[in-house]
Structure 1
Amino acid sequence: MFKKVLRGLFTLAGLVLGFITGQSLLKLDRLAYFKNSAILSVGFLIFSALILGLILYLISPWINSLITKVMNYFEDNIQKVPTVEILLGTFGAIIGLTISALFVSLIPKTLLGTIVSIIIALILAALGGDVAVKKKEEIINAFANIKKVGTPKEKKAKVSRGIPKVLDTSVIIDGRILDICQSGFIEGTLIIPHFVLDELRHIADSSDSLKRTRGRRGLDILNKIQKELSIEVKVTDKDFPEIEEVDVKLLKLTQVLKGKVLTNDYNLNKVAGVQGVPVLNINELANSVKPVVLPGEEMTIQIIKDGKEQEQGIAYLDDGTMIVVEGGKRHIGEVMDVVVTSVLQTAAGRMIFAKQKK
């Protein structure tokens, strides 16, 4: 239906343009013969209108296809951009155009002056939009602070005690840090580097749907961290342009602030250990609060699948801990009593080895 409407509009536009073109052609001296006769003039105008109308009617499918592709392109790209960035970018562009009006008013009204005015307006509009998007967090915080001024009940200032904790991208996306902080086990200021925000935004804009979902989850968690926690949260613009890798920047910033890194990245944990940077690993915390299981302890489990080694069966506790059962492959799907033989504890998690109770 949309394509049919467009084709009709293009045909109508062709008829109008043909009529206008015919009027312009009749003013030429070469067509004076048609101009002197009313019937020939009308016939010439109708002929011009029909020719251009027919041409636009015939090429309208290609024009429709081009318009559809352009619309789909902009729609796909706009969906990847957060609404806040679109609004702030528009606001910044309007401010840029307002400022450009001051310069344009001083430029002479000539052809060259008009071209220069348009260029200045476009540059300042683009610059205003770019600055507004890059300073998104500061602008939002500024408006939030304005809202808070004059309210009858002022919230108490957040008190910062303890060593600063620098958050990396993985721990923000993971989300458990929000619950841990709400429980009161984390003290000190939470530091969120601006280059971590940029990495989150790039992940949220990824063409891969899984990465895009993870990135947007991270931004949502970050928003909750800033609004819901009773401890101080700071976004720092401190950067190290000479360093390209985000993880290396993170460790450098932690050293400068004399703080600790909050992460659940196993590799970052190892690199930080080599460089002597203190690390708080969320996975290690989760493993340490799991129920203690000792060799010889009995438990009832259900074998879910077979293991990597021959005749092994795999089961899981409610907290996700894997149990490897010797000879359990023959009992997949069955509930059975087992005895713990050993427990393997690593930074990646805990693994329990067991055998069938006799």
Structure 2
Amino acid sequence: MNPRLTRVPSVAVEALRILIVIFGAGLGLEIGQALGGEVDDPVLGPFNGIWLGGIVGAGLGYSLGGVLARAVLQAIDEGERALSRLSAEQVVAGGVGAVGGAALVAIVAWPLFLVGDAKLMLPLFVLLVLVGAIFGFRVGRNRREAVLGTVGPRAGMVTPQRSPATLPRILDTSVAVDGRIIDVVRAGFAQGLLLVPRPVLGELQAMADSADPLRRSKGRRGLDVLETLRHEPGVELRIIPDEAPGVAEVDGKLVRICLDRDAALLTFDTNLAKVAALAGAHVLNLHRLAVSLRPPVVVGDEVVVVVSRPGREAGQGVAYLDDGTMVVVEGGRSLVGGEANVTVTSVLTTANGRMVFARPAAAPYAGHEAGPAAGPATPGPRPTTHEPGPAGPTTHEPGP
């Protein structure tokens, strides 16, 4: 819905209206004088042509002043809302770009006054300067990092550090061979410009042509992953030439290209990530991301939980980890209401979340019967473990 005109402050409207009335009166006086009006030549009663032009101009200014004033204030309000959606860095960089663009156009276009009449060339000059200011604002806003990096230190401003996630990303061989980058991209975490240097492409081709079946499989997988990424929406996969021909190793070439292009290195290779970070390059270590997102517990871990309620199946108890993950404790019904030290036997991860199966730490493994004191355990039948809950699916626990 468009804002109503009555919402515009009346004081500002009346102030602008007065200015427009004064302008209209002055314009009317000038027109009356230009039409040959004489001071001693009355046209309408005691008013001569000059005064009549001033009165008509003031009347038109008063009539149109309210509409024009409201339109101007609403345009200012729209500009304020547009600026509120921009960050401070964008506004500052855009302002610098606008000033630079206007100054450049003014320097180039001032000879127009030497070509034609100044009154005729002035509107064209103002138009060109305004267009240059608008163009400079947009360029400065879009290139705010470069503008602030150039002007900021001279003006005493602290240049903000760019996040590696906003930089172009250079893929290394380990990312292509691993293949999990496709799931990361489809989750929306690595979209944008992905650069593949020619040395990486050559290394994958050499692996795909290798006589070793394992290396050949990895190379073909890497090439397939790049082909899949090329067709993913939101991803621009670009092959770039070898920009560091003087460096022999592929890893060294990647680090050199990252430094020259101010790009981030996307890798699964922990050692390469450390070397690149020491060299001053931006690094996005996917292996570190995978470690950060691993389950809070793994098979064999011992954790202390509070068994809050009995499970659906006989003998089961239900507990929860700190992050809300459900823990099904086999033989934990008798422990309801108290703490228990349990050992994780399996972790089930689905699209809807994660479920942990465990047993009391002092209990024998499920599926084993206690043998003689000095004899080995005799394997028994594999039990079936059901997920607790009134409507939960039946889940089979793997045997030892």
TM-score bracket relative to the smaller structure: 0.3 to 0.5
Larger radius of gyration: 2
TM-score w.r.t. structure 2 length?
0.42
Give the TM-score of the pair, scaled to structure 1: 0.46
Whose helix fraction is larger, Structure 1's or Structure 2's?
Answer: 1
